[in-house]
């Protein structure tokens, strides 16, 4: 999961103008941990939402000058699948930035006790 977050942050930094804010957030929702990275970069065209998760995918002419292999998002998707999670992007439109989300199931501890005991031996 660290690798997924690293990939998303790296992309947000690479594709955003200098001094623009990048927001990272998380919450628990319907038994899932949801994490997001929001940037104000070049954005992703709506027709490219799935394409960007394909290996070696680079979208748009302006990305040719940005260093990278186009593997980060495809690797992130495979990591999410391995953890029974999901990754996707929501966009406001080209040039307005992107919000990348991923979710993973929270541990189900409904059968485990939340009680903790510590034994102290008197001497």
Show pLDDT as tens, one digit a residue, over the chain (123 residues): 999 999 999 998 888 888 888 889 999 988 899 999 999 888 888 888 899 999 988 776 555 556 767 899 999 999 999 999 999 999 855 557 899 999 999 986 554 433 333 434 334
Q: Helix 72-82 to helix 2-15 angle, to the nearest 10 degrees?
A: 150
43: left (phi over 0), alpha (psi -120 to 50) or beta: left
What is the per-residue pLDDT for 94? 55
| 3-class secondary structure, 72 | helix
Which of 60, 23, 14, 65 lies closest to 41, judged by CA? 14
CA atoms within 13 A on the CB side of 20: 18
d(CA 54, CA 52): 5
pTM: 0.79
What is the per-residue pLDDT for 79? 97
Q: CA torsion 49→54→56→59, rounded to 10°?
A: -10
d(CA 17, CA 41): 6
């Amino acid at each position: 999961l660290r690798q997924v977050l690293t990939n998303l942050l790296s992309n947000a930094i690479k594709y955003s103008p200098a001094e623009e804010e990048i927001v990272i957030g998380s919450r628990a929702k319907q038994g899932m941990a949801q994490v997001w990275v929001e940037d104000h970069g070049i954005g992703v065209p709506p027709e490219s939402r799935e394409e960007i998760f394909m290996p070696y995918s680079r979208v748009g002419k302006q990305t040719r000058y940005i260093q990278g292999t186009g593997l980060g998002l495809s690797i992130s998707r495979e990591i999410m699948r391995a953890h029974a999670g999901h990754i996707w992007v929501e966009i406001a439109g080209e040039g307005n930035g992107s919000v990348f989300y991923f979710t993973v199931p929270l541990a189900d501890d409904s059968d485990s006790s939340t009680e903790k005991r510590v034994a102290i031996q008197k001497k």
